[in-house]
Amino acid sequence: MSEIASSSMAVSPSNSLFNKYEVGKLLGCGAFAKVYHARDIQTGQSVAIKVINKHKISHNAHLVSNVKREIDIMRQLHHPYIVKLYEVLATKTKIYFVLEFVKGGELFAKVSKGKLSETTSRKYFQQLISAISYCHSRGVYHRDLKPENLLIDENGDLKVSDFGLSAVTGQIRVDGLLHTLCGTPAYVAPEILTKRGYDGAKADIWSCGIILFVMNAAFLPFNDSNLMMMYKKIYKGEYKCPKWMSGELKRLLSRLLDTNPETRITSNEIFNDPWFRKGYKEITLEEEVFDSTAKRECKSTTLNAFDIISFSSGLNLSPLFDGSSSGIGERLVVKKSPENVIEIVEEIAKVANVRVMKRKEFGVDLVGGQNGKCVIGIEVFRLTDNLVVVEVQSSGGGKEFYDELWNNKIRSELNERRDTDTTES
């Protein structure tokens, strides 16, 4: 399968990405990803671009699964206190998450300078619980909540980020629990340490309790240079609140850091807690629906951003986004206009005596085969100013019809007429 390719797609401070984003300074990096500041060339809006090296994860099924899940989760979450995912792009070697740029940095940086006031920490905690409760209501469990993954924007509002270790309800086993061991040691719930399974929502609430404690104390409730000793403290729930904490805050912490997940406070109970309720402002959510039918209706001329990632061979995520993994099909990137591609398809179909049925703009169905019921659906989407994606899907059986018409004739013709400068630099 052809790959997206253009010299303008390399990520470096002096280049643009897909002629859409001017990429700037490096903000941070990890084992498999780097994060850059970038600017939308058309609007001037600042964004953060998380760049994942495909080669570093393609041989690790667990990491590939995490990337798939993170994309699927983030495109469904629309909440003022969760970092927005604008779109996903890909080249042959890289995957790009285009994210909301949160200017104020990590909550960790604020706490490392000293404890926050109860008023400030209450505001951040209210926003954190609002976001996490929203996630839980949609079957999403973060599983790595910590101050490093909570960002503060220029308005002083908190944003939850980094859903790379998140879980969804589909991962829950028949016992009703999650079983993957993950998270940051100092923030992990005691039931996770037992390795007998855990409720994702209750584990997240524990981590929120640790964060609330850290904001008000500027140190961890459970800490030890020896990791096993720290785990023992977590398992036993051994911690001490500093004297400056109010009685109401201490009572809430005792319920958040309850080592028994069955009696630990729930998010609904947190919303009714006296300390939490002070100054709390309800938010109205405007739900955005990502539905496959609507998505297909809106991409008649421009490819949906989340589909672009599926062009990278070895990391084909198209079933995750399409909901239509049955049949035979592929996507091909060529340097042509949509009109030119359809013209070539119709020309070849006419010579092959195959019936052509027009769909909407830049889409046709080719009907034929031995029983006359085999259909090859072809749609063309504009990717950039000079690149298009040809999406092909076969139905009604007819592998021979598909091979003969698409693989041997149309595809080879498109490849032969393709300009030579579309290979990735």
Helix, strand, or coil here: 6?
A: coil
| CB distance 253 to 181 below 8 Å | no
Report which DSSP code applies to 403.
Answer: I
- Mention every residue, 6+ apart, whose C-beta is less than 8 A from residue 43: none
Helix, strand, or coil here: 104?
A: coil
Report which DSSP code applies to 413.
Answer: H
CA angle 281, 202, 117 (to 5 degrees): 45
Distance CA 362, CA 326 (A): 22
| CB distance 215 to 115 below 8 Å | yes
- Mention every residue, 6+ apart, whose C-beta is less than 8 A from residue 225: none
- Residue with tokens 């003969």, as numbered in its chain: 404
| CB distance 384 to 337 below 8 Å | no
- Residue with tokens 């035979």, as numbered in its chain: 328
Our measurement of the distance from residue 88's CA atom to the centroid of its chain's CA atoms, rounded to an integer in Å, reads: 8
- Residue with tokens 């201490």, as numbered in its chain: 250
Distance CA 242, CA 154 (A): 30
CA angle 206, 211, 213 (to 5 degrees): 95
Q: Is 119 exposed, middle or buried (0-12, 13-18, 19+ CB in 10 A)?
A: exposed
Pair of tokens at residue 415: 């490849």
Distance CA 283, CA 394 (A): 46
| CB distance 143 to 202 below 8 Å | no
**Alpha carbon of 67 to those of 62, 304, 315: distances in Å?**
9, 18, 10
| Active-site annotation holder among 72, 144, 199, 322 | 144
144 is catalytic: yes
Catalytic residues, by residue number, are 144
